[in-house]
Structure 1
């Protein structure tokens, strides 16, 4: 492409300018620890034409802030500490193997945001095609160094971070196989905090493919991101926004996710190459309507 930023290969998909927008259904923790819910959300993602689904992987003993561990939380499984809850919604290796095989059978890639170093090792054993850095982990340079050591592509979300913090993260990760995501980590995201022009800022500053990770209600902001050049879009998805869980309310239900992917594909077709031409469909109106020739 004219800007000279090379696409990044994520398995069989190229992510970058001139490629189909790489759409990620962020399942996150919206499965509530239930493999069957995860499979239903994989089904939704496959049916609407996304390319990938994403989860979150934690070692709760490491990744749960000390101040939160012993807080009592009301859950569908009764009252428990926050740390106990974190363990309750984590999938085991066997469950991830089952989920991964199911995603592959539906033609989808799967990967996760590891929140600590052992979680990177866990995901590496399952041979995910790419790793995702959650916005909360931008300043965790130990985690980023471990991710860089895998040699896999990395998708870096940039919410709740300064440019200086992002600079340090990029220095640790390198730019060879880096994809960045513009994000604002407000849930749900109000339009005045979306700051979509950051897509261009990040692209120019780091010379890597840039996408958009959205937490807004509705579709407009994500679609505008694509029109502004986002090469990948990630949105939280759920079977039902009224389900229990902290991310459900800022997630898209199946119909909304379907409309988003449909409209992203239409925008992809509509962007064109920026070269002015008279299209075949214009020839009949031209002959009928133009009175003075060139």
Structure 2
């Protein structure tokens, strides 16, 4: 499936994104191996981050606390990001490699030059991170491309989402609920806000997951997320800002399998007897039966009727309609009554 299916097909499967991000550590070989493993894990897409470090952060920008902890260094954001930056040529090669592996290539742009580059290589959709939700000039640039946008909404109040949606007026926009901490504490996840986004803005909704483990992403799928994004790494012990809050391939594969099972189990919402229940229905439901041996011509009274299994005869709800009817034939105790047995 393609990311565009999410915006055009209401029955499209959940779109699962392996967020490699900067977990390649600036190493193209590691990036390619990550694509291989994400494809094997069942992801619909891999997503990277495209940026020019000097255009993303100032030399004075400090690192977030989780970045200091996970990189075991207090150097600046700029110094950290320079080590994690891939060239535009690298991304062209990654896009081609993904096509060969049958997995969608996506990347989040963090500056105007990077957005122009991604558009120039005919990316199918843009993913915009939570940090650019209030970057209206940047969003207006994205709007000019007219491509589908997946917009993360971490750190935002409900009303703050109106402005970016207005800036993206020419784009189909999916809103991703998100808690921007790494890992995100469960008490701050607030999955119910995903339904609030859908109800308020009438958009496709999804979930960008930064929690430990896989259960919250699975819960989001059960609650109706059409897009699930989760950080992906080959090894959580690697040094880098996001590895510790990511899933390794085996975990990611287990998450994908669980999401697909939840998706299958959700069904179409029509309450009905399912094919697998038919046999049980026949033996577990009850029918009207003859309570004792009765001769042909006998006029039925309430005392002549009982309700017992199986459920293959006249349903108990027709009890009143049988009172006063005559039997067409002799009947024995515990026989199911058929309409053809009655005058």
Query: Same fold by TM (over 0.5)?
Result: yes
Q: 1:22 maps to which residue?
A: 15
1:43 to 1:198, Cα distance in 2 relative to 1, 3 A = same
CA contact (8 A) 1:15 1:21 kept: no
CA contact (8 A) 1:15 1:231 kept: no
* In 1, Cα distance between equivalents of 2:23 and 2:281: 53
- Report the CA distance between 1:141 and its aligned residue: 0.6
- Report the CA distance between 1:169 and its aligned residue: 0.7
1:37 aligns with 2:33: no
* In 2, Cα distance between equivalents of 1:264 and 1:181: 17
What is the RMSD computed on CA atoms of the aligned residues?
A: 2.4
1:62 aligns with 2:55: yes
Q: Deviations over 1:115-145 (max 9, x none)?
A: 1111101111222111111011111111100
* In 2, Cα distance between equivalents of 1:113 and 1:125: 14
2:202 pairs, out of 207, 213, 224, with 207
TM-score (structure 2 length as normaliser): 0.77
Any stretches of 5+ residues in structure 2 without a counterpart?
A: 288-310, 316-343
Secondary structure in structure 1 of the residue aligned to 2:61: helix
Q: 1:50 maps to which residue?
A: 43
- Report the CA distance between 1:10 and its aligned residue: 3.2
Runs of 4+ in 1 over 3 A off after TM superposition: 9-17, 73-76, 78-82
Q: Deviations over 1:263-284 (max 9, x none)?
A: 1111111111111111221122
Q: 1:5 maps to which residue?
A: none
- Report the CA distance between 1:98 and its aligned residue: 1.3
- Report the CA distance between 1:13 and its aligned residue: 5.8
* In 1, Cα distance between equivalents of 2:285 and 2:165: 54
Larger deviation, residues 192-201 vs 175-184: 175-184
Larger deviation, residues 254-263 vs 171-180: 171-180
CA contact (8 A) 1:185 1:215 kept: yes
1:79 to 1:203, Cα distance in 2 relative to 1, 3 A = closer
How many pairs does the alignment contain? 284
CA contact (8 A) 2:194 2:206 kept: yes
Q: 1:239 maps to which residue?
A: 234
Q: 1:140 maps to which residue?
A: 135
Q: Flag the structure with more relative contact order, 1 or 2, with Cα contacts below 8 A and sequence separation at least 6.
A: 1
Q: Deviations over 1:184-219 (max 9, x none)?
A: 101101111110011111111111100000000111
Secondary structure in structure 2 of the residue aligned to 1:96: helix
- Report the CA distance between 1:110 and its aligned residue: 1.0
CA contact (8 A) 2:143 2:170 kept: no
Q: 1:156 maps to which residue?
A: 151
1:1-294 correspondence to structure 2 within 5 Å:
10-11=3-4, 14=7, 17-68=10-61, 82-174=77-169, 176-292=171-287, 293=311, 294=315
Q: Deviations over 1:221-251 (max 9, x none)?
A: 1111111110000000001111001111110
TM-score (structure 1 length as normaliser): 0.90
* In 2, Cα distance between equivalents of 1:79 and 1:176: 39
Any stretches of 5+ residues in structure 1 without a counterpart?
A: 1-8
Secondary structure in structure 2 of the residue aligned to 1:196: coil
